[in-house]
Structure 1
Amino acid sequence: MKVFKLILFLLLIFLIGGSIYFASKDGNYDIKESKVIQAPASLLFNTVNDYKTWEHWGPWKKEDSTMMFTYLKNTVGVGGGYSWDGDFPGNMKTTNAEQDLSIEQDLAIVTPGGERFSKVYWEFTHTKTGEVRVSWRTTGEHTLMDKVYFAFSSMDFDKDMRAMYTSGLEGLASHVRGRMDEHTVTIKGVTEYGGGFYVYKTTSASGSNISSIMGQNYGEILQYMNQHTVSQAGMPFTIYNEMNSNGTVIMSNAIPTQNKVEIEGESTLLSGYIPRTKTVLVTLKGNYTFLGNAWDEGMKYLSQYSLIQSDQKPFEIYTNDPGQFPNPADWITEIYIPIQ
């Protein structure tokens, strides 16, 4: 009996000493991973800021396919949140958000060692090359039982979390790129374009530099119009004077005006007029890189219905401003192909 009591006493001493030892060990963690992603900061921010997107790119479901998600009425911004059931149930809620710059969240996860609470931080930083560095960070403190478990198991919490965050950032990049590549082409059929006056500049370009040349031309036109108090009467458009099989074009970049503009002084700009015109209208919703597909669909439509192009040159109108629509999938371009 004395031996049994001694064993119990030693065991109690061991447990008390072990508890003191593990309680005194530093259980704080601060883990951060980053990835440079070629996408608009606002699109990346808005994706992370809405918990309904997380199951599409988050890393947890890859580890636990049984996870089931429950969303609060609000899933976006401060106060938004969601929860999940699975091997490690938990919940997350947004506590602070600064548009396109940062997000702060509270994370709670139920582990075998008890409920673990963490702070989560997101940062979206522009790089010199125009990309965005997305940083995902978590801080917190392990429970006593977690510290005991990590001491006697092969689990490396820091390493596993870094791998999970790396996987999540790669998933975020892939998800956002997929959203940016979404596009639709719609054949609106035969319609009339109302016509009107415009100021334009004609240049040649190739597929590799057409975007930059367009930007320069529109900048020059807008500068002239501002200096001479000429009002813009519509969205910018491009008239294609020649479209060659080698990918080069001769184009006139134009901005509509209320009336005919008499160009003053020495200038490469000219004033033009499009009469009321019968056309085939094709609409692209998506990145300008898919305009070739839209043009191909338009030409197929002409062939299918035996429609013949007129001598008037085709043109495309950029109906919304990319500066106000960060996701290229939301850009809308109208293609007008004049017909006889």
Structure 2
Amino acid sequence: MKFLKLLFFLLLIFLIGGAIYFASKDGHYDIKESKVIQVPASILYNTVNDYTTWEHWGPWKKEDSTMTFSYDAKTIGIGGGYSWDGEFPGSMKTTAVQENVAIEQDLTIVTPGGERFSKVGWEFTPTENGAVEVSWKVEGEHTLMDKVYFAFSGTDFEGDMRTMYISGLNGLETYVREKMEDHNVTIHGITEYGGGFYVYKTTSASNTNISAIMGESYSEINQFMKQKGISQSGMPFTIYNEMNPNGNIIMSNAIPVANAVEITEESTVLSGYLPRTKAVRVTLKGNYSYLGKAWADAMQYIQQYELIQSEQKPFEIYTNDPGDYPNPADWVTDIYIPIE
């Protein structure tokens, strides 16, 4: 009996000593990883701010294939949240946001050592070359049981978290770039375009410099309109006067106006009128780089239904302003091919 009492006493001393030892160890952690991504800050911010995207780019499911996700009624902005079940269940809530700049979140994870509470932060910092440095950090205090578990299991908490955050930032970039490439083409069939007055500049271009030439032309047209006090009455469009198989084109970049404009002889910006016309209309939603596909679909439709193009030149209207829509997947272009 005395031996058992002694053994119990020694075990108690060991446990108390161990508790004091682990309690005295610094349990604070502050881990941060960053990645420079050549994507607009608003796209990155909006992706991170929406928890429904996290399961698509987050690194956790690679480590635990059993994970399942549940979403709160609100998933975006302050008060938004989601949770998950798996090897280490947990939840996350957004506590503060600064649009396109920063996000703060509360993280709770159930570990073998009990519940762990952490503060998570995101920062989106523009760089000089137009990219964004995305920083992802986590800060908190390990519980006593966490310290014991890490000591006996040999877990490298900081190393594992850094590896996971690096993987997550890489996943975020991949996911965002893929979403930016989303596009679809809608063939509306035969419709009528109302027509109207416009001012324009005609230039030649090739597939390699068309974007730069368009930018210069629209800049000159806008300057002309500002000097003349002319208001824009619709979205910019391009008339394709010639489209050659070798990729060279002659185009008129145009902006709609309410009335005919008086033009001086020396002006490189001219005035025109587009009559009401019957045309095949095709809409591209997505990056302008997919316009070739949209045009090909439009021409295939014309051939399929044995339609005949009229002498009026085809044109495309840039239905929304890329300056207002940083994600190219949201850009909308309407193609009109006049027919007899």
Normalising TM by the smaller chain, what interval?
Answer: over 0.9
Measured after TM superposition, the shift of residue 208 of structure 1 is 2.5
What letter corresponds to residue 236 of structure 1 in structure 2?
Answer: P
How is 1:78-89 mapped onto 2 (pairs within 5 angstroms)? 78-89=78-89
2:60 equivalent in structure 1: 60
Name the stretch that deviates more: 106-115 or 276-285: 276-285
- Partner of 1:158, secondary structure, is helix
Measured after TM superposition, the shift of residue 10 of structure 1 is 2.7
1:249 equivalent in structure 2: 249
> Residues of 1 paired with 2:8 and 2:314: CA distance?
93
The answer to whether structure 1 residue 133 and structure 2 residue 133 are counterparts is: yes
- Partner of 1:182, secondary structure, is coil
> Residues of 2 paired with 1:202 and 1:262: CA distance?
17
> Residues of 2 paired with 1:198 and 1:127: CA distance?
39
Q: 1:265 to 1:151 in 2, by over 3 A?
A: farther
> Residues of 1 paired with 2:287 and 2:252: CA distance?
21
> Residues of 2 paired with 1:106 and 1:99: CA distance?
18
1:339 equivalent in structure 2: 339
> Residues of 2 paired with 1:104 and 1:90: CA distance?
17
Measured after TM superposition, the shift of residue 159 of structure 1 is 1.2
The answer to whether structure 1 residue 41 and structure 2 residue 41 are counterparts is: yes
Gaps of 5+ in 2: none
- Partner of 2:323, secondary structure, is helix
1:272 equivalent in structure 2: 272
What letter corresponds to residue 41 of structure 1 in structure 2?
Answer: A
2:295 equivalent in structure 1: 295
How is 1:1-340 mapped onto 2 (pairs within 5 angstroms)? 1-264=1-264, 266-340=266-340
What letter corresponds to residue 24 of structure 1 in structure 2?
Answer: S
What letter corresponds to residue 57 of structure 1 in structure 2?
Answer: W
Cα root mean square deviation, aligned = 1.6
Name the stretch that deviates more: 247-256 or 127-136: 127-136
Contact kept, 8 Å, 2:59 with 2:164, in 1: the verdict is: yes
- Partner of 1:290, secondary structure, is helix
Q: Spell out, residue by residue over 1:18-42, the C-alpha distance to the aligned partner (whole angstroms, 9 max, x if none).
A: 2111111111111111222232221
> Residues of 2 paired with 1:260 and 1:271: CA distance?
7
Gaps of 5+ in 1: none
Q: 1:258 to 1:63 in 2, by over 3 A?
A: same
What letter corresponds to residue 242 of structure 2 in structure 1?
Answer: E
- Partner of 2:238, secondary structure, is strand
- Partner of 1:240, secondary structure, is strand
What letter corresponds to residue 92 of structure 2 in structure 1?
Answer: M
Q: Spell out, residue by residue over 1:81-124, the C-alpha distance to the aligned partner (whole angstroms, 9 max, x if none).
A: 11112111111100000111110000011111111110000111
> Residues of 2 paired with 1:99 and 1:16: CA distance?
49
> Residues of 2 paired with 1:231 and 1:289: CA distance?
29
> After the TM superposition, which parts of structure 1 deviate over 4 Å for at least 4 consecutive aligned residues?
none
> Residues of 1 paired with 2:71 and 2:133: CA distance?
28
What letter corresponds to residue 159 of structure 2 in structure 1?
Answer: K
Name the stretch that deviates more: 291-300 or 222-231: 222-231
What letter corresponds to residue 219 of structure 1 in structure 2?
Answer: S
Name the stretch that deviates more: 243-252 or 76-85: 243-252
Measured after TM superposition, the shift of residue 248 of structure 1 is 2.4
Measured after TM superposition, the shift of residue 174 of structure 1 is 1.9
Measured after TM superposition, the shift of residue 265 of structure 1 is 7.5
Name the stretch that deviates more: 290-299 or 207-216: 207-216
- Partner of 1:323, secondary structure, is coil
Measured after TM superposition, the shift of residue 152 of structure 1 is 2.2
Measured after TM superposition, the shift of residue 264 of structure 1 is 4.5
Measured after TM superposition, the shift of residue 238 of structure 1 is 0.6
Q: Spell out, residue by residue over 1:223-249, the C-alpha distance to the aligned partner (whole angstroms, 9 max, x if none).
A: 221221101110000111221222222
Measured after TM superposition, the shift of residue 211 of structure 1 is 1.6
> Residues of 1 paired with 2:94 and 2:216: CA distance?
42
Q: Spell out, residue by residue over 1:8-60, the C-alpha distance to the aligned partner (whole angstroms, 9 max, x if none).
A: 33322222222111111111111111222232221211111111111122111
What letter corresponds to residue 34 of structure 1 in structure 2?
Answer: S
Measured after TM superposition, the shift of residue 311 of structure 1 is 2.0
